[in-house]
Chain A
Amino acid sequence: MDSKNKIEVKDLNLWYADKQALKDNNLHIKERKVTALIGPSGCGKSTFVRCINRMNDLIDGVRITGSILLDNKNIYDKDVDVVALRKRVGMVFQRPNPFPMSIFDNIAYGPRIHGIKDKDSLRKIVEESLVGAALWDEVSDRLGTNALDLSGGQQQRLCIARSLAVKPEVILFDEPCSALDPIATGKIEDLIHELRKKYTIVIVTHNMQQAARVSDFTGFFLLGKLLEFGKTRDIFENPKKKETEDYITGRFG
Chain B
Amino acid sequence: MPRAKLDFQIDTIKGDILKMTRAVEQQIRDAMKALEHLDSDLARKVIEKDDETNALYGEIKERCIQTIALQQPVAKDLRIISISMDVASNLERIGDYAVDIAKNVDYILRESPHLSEEFNKDVLKLIDGNGSENLMMEMGDVVASMVRDSGPAFIREDARKIEEIMKLEDQVDDLFRRIFRKLEDISRKDIEGVSFALNLILTARYLERAADHSVNITKRTLYAMRGKEEYI
Contact A250 B79 (CB under 8 A): no
B132 in the interface (beta carbon within 8 A): no
Stretch in B54-62, B68-76, B94-102, B142-150 touching the partner: B68-76
Residues 206-248 of A, flagged 1 when their CB comes within 8 A of B and 0 if not, give: 0011001000000000000000000000001111000001001
Contacting residues, chain A, for B79 (C-beta < 8 A): 237-238
Per the 8 Å Cβ criterion, residues 55-92 of B in contact with A are: 72-79
Contacting residues, chain A, for B227 (C-beta < 8 A): 237-238
A239 nearest CB neighbor, chain B only: B75
A178 in the interface (beta carbon within 8 A): no
A212 nearest CB neighbor, chain B only: B74
B6 in the interface (beta carbon within 8 A): yes
How far is A251 from B73 in the complex, measured between Cα atoms in Å? 12
How far is A250 from B76 in the complex, measured between Cα atoms in Å? 12
Contact A237 B74 (CB under 8 A): yes
Contact B72 A249 (CB under 8 A): no
Contact B3 A245 (CB under 8 A): no
Contacting residues, chain A, for B72 (C-beta < 8 A): 209
What is the distance, in angstroms, from A222's C-beta to the closest C-beta of chain B?
16
How far is A156 from B195 in the complex, measured between Cα atoms in Å? 75
B228 in the interface (beta carbon within 8 A): yes
Contact B3 A251 (CB under 8 A): yes
A244 nearest CB neighbor, chain B only: B75
B113 in the interface (beta carbon within 8 A): no
A-B contact count (CB 8 A): 30
Number of interface residues of B (CB under 8 A): 13
Contact A249 B228 (CB under 8 A): no
How far is A236 from B76 in the complex, measured between Cα atoms in Å? 9
B226 nearest CB neighbor, chain A only: A238
Which of A208, A236, A250 has the most B CB atoms < 10 Å from its CB? A250
How far is A141 from B66 in the complex, measured between Cα atoms in Å? 45
Contact A208 B3 (CB under 8 A): no
Contacting residues, chain B, for A249 (C-beta < 8 A): 3, 73-77
What is the distance, in angstroms, from B86's C-beta to the closest C-beta of chain A?
16
Per the 8 Å Cβ criterion, residues 183-227 of A in contact with B are: 208-209, 212
Contact B3 A250 (CB under 8 A): yes
How far is A57 from B216 in the complex, measured between Cα atoms in Å? 58
Contacting residues, chain A, for B78 (C-beta < 8 A): 237
B77 nearest CB neighbor, chain A only: A249
How far is A236 from B79 in the complex, measured between Cα atoms in Å? 11
What is the distance, in angstroms, from A243's C-beta to the closest C-beta of chain B?
12
What is the distance, in angstroms, from A240's C-beta to the closest C-beta of chain B?
9
What is the distance, in angstroms, from A249's C-beta to the closest C-beta of chain B?
5
Which of A209, A236, A238, A251 has the most B CB atoms < 10 Å from its CB? A238
Residues 1-34 of B, flagged 1 when their CB comes within 8 A of A and 0 if not, give: 0110010000000000000000000000000000
How far is A237 from B76 in the complex, measured between Cα atoms in Å? 7
How far is A209 from B228 in the complex, measured between Cα atoms in Å? 22
How far is A232 from B1 in the complex, measured between Cα atoms in Å? 26
Contacting residues, chain B, for A236 (C-beta < 8 A): 74-75
B3 nearest CB neighbor, chain A only: A250
How far is A248 from B228 in the complex, measured between Cα atoms in Å? 19
Contacting residues, chain B, for A208 (C-beta < 8 A): 74
Given contacts A208-B74, A238-B75, 18 further A-B contacts (CB under 8 A): A209-B72, A212-B74, A236-B74, A236-B75, A237-B74, A237-B75, A237-B78, A237-B79, A238-B76, A238-B227, A239-B75, A245-B75, A249-B74, A249-B76, A249-B77, A250-B2, A250-B3, A251-B3
Interface CB pairs A-B, < 8 A, 18: A208-B74, A212-B74, A236-B74, A236-B75, A237-B74, A237-B79, A237-B227, A238-B76, A238-B79, A238-B227, A238-B228, A239-B75, A248-B75, A249-B3, A249-B75, A249-B76, A249-B77, A251-B3
A interface residues with partner B (beta carbon < 8 Å): 208-209, 212, 236-239, 245, 248-251
Q: List 7 tightest A-B contacts by C-beta distance, closest first.
A: A238-B227, A250-B2, A236-B74, A250-B3, A248-B74, A245-B75, A249-B77
